Amino acid sequence: MSRFAKSPWIIHYDASSCNGCDIEVLACLTPGFDVERLGVVNTGNPKHADLFLVTGAVNEQCRDVICNIYHQMAEPKVVIAVGICAASGGIFRECYNISGGVDSVIPVDVYVPGCAARPEAIIDGVVQALGVLEKKQKEMAALASNLDRTQYLHADKKDAPEILGLQKTAYQRESAAYGDDCLPALKQTLPEIEAEFDHPAAPAAAEPPVAPPPAPGRTVFLKAVVSGKIIGSVRGYAVGDTTYLSRLIVHPYFQGRGIGRRLLEELEKDFPEVRRFEACAGQKSERSLAQLQKLGFQEFKTGPGPVPITWVYLQKERQ
């Protein structure tokens, strides 16, 4: 049994519950069921929590709070939707201010049925969540132990769904910084990313105007692969003597291990004829900006994009 199963830390958030499910969650903690005797800890700090337990449907007021809690939790993490409202919106589903269940804003791993969900069902949901957490933890650990065997390869269109999923995961921290999901990387759809493979001369419409349209056939997608799983990616295209790179992404669990640096080095090798590299990031994306600066990029201008973000443009000369 792992440390998670021995003592899972849970953060509970009441989205827009009628309080029926919350009372049942409290019943789990009080002497009748007393899950603390089994090592379950109810914490108020997302950074300490392994499981995120949500009751109630999602409305406009709690949407950002749910996202913020989720993004502050460390990987691996598991989300439990407790009650029919958290699962689908329930009886509030058609209300003007309800966007749906918890999975309308974050991925949910375990659904606990009921209105209200019974304490026994909630405890069963936590036990299921521990199984999911354990599985995720083992997968991450297995990948991490093989990082020295990471392959840096060209991606093709069949990789688009996996790269898009990774992109949405990697940009969650940015989403928290900007307070909504206006970032082009988070809004991109599967047909749009597939179109980038099909028609490299047509970057996504929501992209900031970093460059003139690329020459056909010069867009390159790279992927970092461990044990068959994509954990990082970057794309770039050349115009004249400049390569414009975008979407340098690494799974949050594997950040800070040199994968972003290797992806950039590999991308540079794909464009031996260019002398200059250009990238951009949102002004509040401190981590991305710091990473690019660490890799030798220097800011040369800022400017607004087609979405309400101030973009910082950085460049680097080939060494």
Does 208 sit near ligand SF4 (CB under 6 A)? no
From first CA to last CA, the distance across the chain in angstroms is 51
Does 165 sit near ligand SF4 (CB under 6 A)? no
Which range in 79-87, 237-245, 246-254, 307-315 contacts ligand SF4 by CB under 6 A? 79-87
Based on the number of CB atoms within 10 Å of its own CB, is 243 exposed (0-12), middle (13-18) or buried (19 or more)? buried
User: What are the C-alpha distances in Å from 252 to residues 14, 116, 167, 257, 260?
Assistant: 27, 35, 10, 10, 11
Residues composing the chain: 319
Ramachandran sector of residue 189 (left: φ over 0; alpha: ψ -120 to 50; beta: rest): beta
Does 119 sit near ligand SF4 (CB under 6 A)? no
Count Cβ neighbours within 10 Å for each residue of 270-298 and write b for 16 or more, e otherwise.
Answer: ebeebeebbbbbbebbeebbebbeebebe
> What's the closest the beta carbon of residue 86 comes to ligand SF4, in angstroms?
7
Our measurement of the distance from residue 177's CA atom to the centroid of its chain's CA atoms, rounded to an integer in Å, reads 13
Look up residue 90 and give its DSSP letter: G
Residue whose beta carbon is closest to ligand SF4: 20
CB-nearer residue toward ligand SF4: 91 or 95: 91
- Residues contacting ligand SF4: total by CB under 6 A: 13
Does 90 sit near ligand SF4 (CB under 6 A)? yes
Q: How far apart are CA 34 and CA 50, in angstroms?
A: 19
CB-nearer residue toward ligand SF4: 83 or 119: 83
Q: How far apart are CA 279 and CA 166, in angstroms?
A: 20
> What's the closest the beta carbon of residue 15 comes to ligand SF4, in angstroms?
9
> What's the closest the beta carbon of residue 80 comes to ligand SF4, in angstroms?
13
Does 245 sit near ligand SF4 (CB under 6 A)? no
CB atoms within 10 A of CB 24: 22
Mark 25-64 with x for binding to ligand SF4 (rule: CB under 6 A) and - for no binding.
------------------------------xx--------
**Residues 50, 290, 194, CA angle at the centre, nearest 5°?**
75
> What's the closest the beta carbon of residue 34 comes to ligand SF4, in angstroms?
22
* Options 10, 40, 78, 85; binder of ligand SF4; rule CB under 6 A: 85
Does 115 sit near ligand SF4 (CB under 6 A)? yes
CB-nearer residue toward ligand SF4: 86 or 193: 86
Helix (H, G, I), strand (E, B) or coil at 43: coil
Which range in 41-49, 78-86, 160-168, 187-195 contacts ligand SF4 by CB under 6 A? 78-86
Does 160 sit near ligand SF4 (CB under 6 A)? no
Residues in contact with ligand SF4 by the rule CB under 6 A: 17-18, 20-21, 55-56, 83-85, 90-91, 115-116
